Structure 1
Amino acid sequence: MGAASFVLAINVFVAGLFAITFMVLAWRGRSRVPLWFGLTYLVASLYVVSEFILPFQGDPRLTYSIGFSLFHLSLAAAVAGIAERYRKAIPWELLAALVVLGIASGAISYDFERGSFARMMLYQAPFAAMHIAIAIMILTSRRIDRLDMVLAGLMVMGALQYLSKPFVATFTGGAGTSPQDYIATTYALYSQTMGTIVALTTGLMLLLILVRDMLVEITLRSETDALSGLYNRRGFDAHASALLDAAQRTGVPTAMVVADLDHFKSINDTHGHEAGDRVIEWFGAVLRGTASDRWVVGRMGGEEFAIFLSGANLTTARLFAESVRSAMAGLMPETLPDTLRVTASFGVSEGDGETSLADLRRRADAALYRAKSQGRDRVATAVAAPAVVPEANAEPTPTIKLRQA
């Protein structure tokens, strides 16, 4: 077995291993993304097998055509998986066009002079186009991090690798005088070695991204309240604390709003717990629809909710609370009885650059208590009193002044 044949065998093993791994992930999870990647490597392994068969064919045209057709289908599956992973519509028409053009260019190139530069470029360019399409799809996504950037970089490198092959073939003596001679050439060794490197690094990066996604999903489930769809207390504290620390380092204003559904116990007692659950779901949707994406919204337990506002002062927080209160009046859920009117009370506090999350919540809770005692269905704000210079030997005593909005 020659060196190129040995690398081909490694390619089959690598592709098959990744195909099995992605299929298992697809079977164990709920996403179709691993399934697409599993198909990518499964079909790619069949393409590599066709490369093994070529030297034994009297007329290799059919095997040659099947081989590059399989590889185009493999890359099309990769594009579909990337589209679903990055929440884009699968570009079926574009994929079909690229696959058809790629297969056509491969068929046309077969009749070119085997060692010609034009033939090599006509054969390799469609593969490079698929890789560029994947890179563009990743880079134009809304939220990407370093792993995604690395994956996009690997796609660009893969495209350059395909475009480099005609030049390598020129300088290494070509791809053989016939398809049967290909496997014994220096070019075949280069091509298959680069293919192994690209397949291995891309597969590992895709696995890293999928594992990261699974960990994020597990964390999100542990931090999410199933009924309201908002953060639970644990998730709220974790994300709000991180935002508060960042805001205090950069001098960004912060505020806290706590909300409590009025007479919620009587809703459960009168209309049943199912109606109470619908109210929680509805109020969570109102908060989500009104709050900025930069804020943290959570259900702290029962009928109590909290919103941490980064980049917002007391006035902005109070206006937000008032807008939620107004939205509640005009957006009653259809699933609830017409006679039921749901209101909420709100307490608002503002950070001073050194306030802890617990203190922000304590002051907002105090304001909420005042809103409740004043008759409910209203907003109250807590304002720190101006600092007073203490007398000599006197212990400073912080005071909180409450005022109703």
Structure 2
Amino acid sequence: MSVAFVLAINMSVAGLIAAAFAVVAVTNRTARGAWWLAAGCGLGIVNVGLEFLLTRQVDPTPTGISIFLVFLLAQSFALIGVASHYRVAPPWIAIAAIWVLTILAVPVIFSLPYGSSPRLTLYQMPYFAMQSLFAIVIVRSGRRQALDLLLIALQIVAALIYLAKPLIAAVVGTASSPQGYMASTYAAISQSASVVALMAIALVLLLVMMRDTTAEIVARSETDPLSSVLNRRGFEQHAGIALLRYGETAVLIAADLDDFKTINDSFGHAAGDGVIAHFAAMLVDAAPADAIVGRIGGEEFAVLLPDAMLSDGRIYAEAVRTAFAAARLPVLGVDRGFTASFGVAQRGPGDSLFDLLRRADAALYRAKAAGRNQVRVALEEMPVSATVGVA
């Protein structure tokens, strides 16, 4: 297989991958980093084109320097794209340091004899350093799913390939001049290894983006846009899974804003929406990390505390009730306090989520009947008078 053929494959692959990332960026505006990755792959096409141009140059140095720096720029763009996708700040200082050292090294590299070990080693070091940053960025993100671990491994392999290239050249030999690079065995091995590694990285990156995009779509479908907590569908889904995991050691708190219709009628729906959002934020802030919080009705919320006892649920509800009653929301133009009522139920033997919600609601209605702004515990089933009005 000729090096020209391998380079043509490299150019085609870079073009296809650049197009794939561009499509992701266009069709999913929340896909972070896709445009940077598309730009990096696009520069890969330019880099390969310069390799073909090199063979026709009388003085190969300007084109050789361009090839050297364009590929490093392609790596830089791709690194920024990966960091953006993983929600990690790009390592700007490290990137800048690599570029400064690379620019300073250019006169030294291109003054050394072509094909010599010192020249090849210095030539590959910036690529090794930049590629290593990919793995560091993903590790810093804290993501440890299978595709993330595979991507880290591939980045390490790609970095090691750059380190290995001077050794490969020492074994198989290289061309005597830059114009003869494409006719050398070293070029065939170097380009083949690079395209395989970079193609594998790009494909895994596309899979990572598809996975994360799908997860974001699912999360949006399960999230209430006003309160930013789970909607009823999402709450039932996640709470059901939690009940399967924790068994009977779970507590459910039902909460309802008192006199909510009066809030809307007196201050407007925008103020009512603000009260709902504020109350939801207080529920989340006071809850333990494994709690599941959902808005299951207009002004009704539910909080599942996995691996908790009835006393834990009551303490949590009292804390939120007290804090909410003491809060003032002048930013909404409503300079007054609001209250909420709570019902707490411990999961019993054989209780489904529906049973648990029903018993928590029964306790909530008793809190409403007793004058609102209270917490009631579902110690046993108690009938609620049909004459009791619930706000």
Same fold (TM > 0.5): yes
Residue 242 (structure 1) shift? 1.5
Structure 2 spans left out of the alignment, 5+ residues: 385-391
Q: Counterpart in 2 of 1:64?
A: 64
Structure 1 pair 56–327 and aligned structure 2 pair: CA distance change class (3 A): same
**Counterpart Cα distance in 2 of 1:156 and 1:321:** 50
Give how far 1:272 is off: 1.9
SS in 1 for 2:55: helix
- Give 1:261's aligned residue: 257
Q: Show CA shifts across 1:358-394 (max 9, x none).
A: 222122111111111111111111236xxxxxxxxxx
Q: Tell me the number of residue pairs that the alignment of Structure 1 and Structure 2 aligns.
A: 383
Q: Is 1:361 aligned to 2:360, yes or no?
A: no
Matched, 1:118 2:107: no
Aligned amino acid, residue 369 of structure 2: S
Q: What SS does the corresponding residue of 2:251 show, helix, strand or coil?
A: strand
Name the residue aligned to 2:387: none
Could you tell me the TM-score, scaled by structure 1's length? 0.90
The correspondence for 2:272, drawn from 276, 283, 286, is 276
Residues 313-322 or 180-189, more deviating: 313-322
Query: Residue 368 of structure 2: SS of its match in structure 1?
Result: helix
Alignment of 1:1-400 (within 5 A): 3-31=2-30, 32-173=32-173, 175-248=174-247, 253-352=249-348, 354-383=350-379
Q: Per the alignment, in what secondary structure is the counterpart of residue 112 of structure 2?
A: coil
* Cα-Cα RMSD: 2.0
Mapped to 2, the partners of 1:40 and 1:400 lie a distance apart of 66
Q: Distance in 1 between matches of 2:114 and 2:227?
A: 65
Q: State the alpha-carbon separation in 1 of the partners of residues 9 and 103 from structure 2.
A: 26
1:339–1:171 distance in 2 versus 1, CA, 3 Å: closer
Give the whole-Å Cα distance in 1 for the aligned partners of 2:180 and 2:272.
Answer: 75
Q: What's the CA shift for 1:146?
A: 1.2
Amino acid at match of 1:127: Y
Structure 2 SS opposite 1:348: strand
Pick closer, same or farther for the CA change 1:331–1:64 going to 2, 3 Å: farther
Instruction: For 2:5 and 2:349, locate their aligned partners in 1 and report how far apart those are by CA, in whole Å.
Output: 64
Contact 1:296 1:307 in 2 (8 A): yes
CA contact (8 A) 2:43 2:70 kept: yes
1:232 is displaced (CA, Å) by 0.4
Match of 2:34, SS state, is: helix
* Cα distance, 1:244 vs structure 2: 1.8
Residues 73, 99 of structure 1: 8 Å contact kept: no
Instruction: Indicate if the aligned counterparts of 1:65 and 1:107 stay in contact, CA closer than 8 A.
Output: no
What per-residue deviation string (whole Å, max 9, x for no partner) do you get for residues 242-283 of structure 1?
1221223xx8x3211110000111111222222211111111
Distance 1:97 1:254, change over 3 A: same
Asked whether the equivalents of residues 329 and 335 of structure 2 are also in contact (C-alpha less than 8 Å), the reply is no
Within 1, Cα distance between the matches of 2:132 and 2:245?
37
Give the corresponding residue for 2:388.
Answer: none
Q: TM-score, normalised by structure 2?
A: 0.93
CA deviation after TM superposition for structure 1 residue 227, in Å: 1.0
**Equivalent residue of 2:230, what SS?**
coil
Structure 1: 5+ residue stretches without partners: 385-398
- Check whether the contact 1:4–1:184 (CA below 8 A) recurs between aligned residues: yes
Change (3 A) 1:67 1:272: same
* CA distance in 2 between partners of 1:280 and 1:58 (Å): 73
Supply the AA of the counterpart residue of 1:167. L
**Residues in 2 aligned to 1:42 and 1:242: alpha-carbon distance in whole angstroms:** 44
Q: Specify the code of the residue in structure 2 equivalent to 1:266.
A: T
The 1:115/1:218 distance shift into structure 2, 3 A limit, reads same
How far did residue 159 of structure 1 move?
A: 0.6
* 1:311 Cα deviation from its structure 2 partner: 2.7
Q: Which moved more, 1:21-30 or 1:219-228?
A: 21-30
Q: What is the rounded CA distance, in whole Å, between the counterparts of 1:255 and 1:401 in structure 2?
A: 21
Which 10-residue stretch deviates more, 225-234 or 284-293?
Answer: 284-293
- Give yes or no for contact 1:261–1:303 (8 Å, CA) kept in 2: yes
Q: 1:33: Cα distance to partner?
A: 1.0
What is the aligned-residue identity percentage? 43
TM-aligned CA deviation for residue 77 of structure 1: 0.9
Q: Deviations over 1:313-371 (max 9, x none)?
A: 22222111111112213332223445532110111112246532222212211111111
Quote the Cα distance in structure 2 between the aligned partners of 1:40 and 1:200.
13
Q: Alpha carbons of 1:400 and 1:125: their partners in 2 closer, same or farther (altered >3 Å)?
A: farther
Task: List per-residue Cα deviations over 1:99-158 (Å, max 9, x = no partner).
Answer: 232344354222223233222221112211112111011112134311111111110110
Secondary structure, aligned partner of 2:296: strand
What is the Cα deviation at residue 204 of structure 1?
Answer: 0.8
Residue 133 of structure 1 aligns with an amino acid whose one-letter code is: L
Would you say the 8 A contact 1:76–1:99 is kept in 2?
no
8 Å Cα contact 1:131/1:158 also seen in 2: yes
In 2, the alpha carbon distance for the partners of 1:168 and 1:271 equals 76
Q: Which amino acid aligns with 1:138?
A: I
Q: 8 Å contact 2:229–2:280 — kept in the other structure?
A: yes
Residues 353-362 or 289-298, more deviating: 353-362
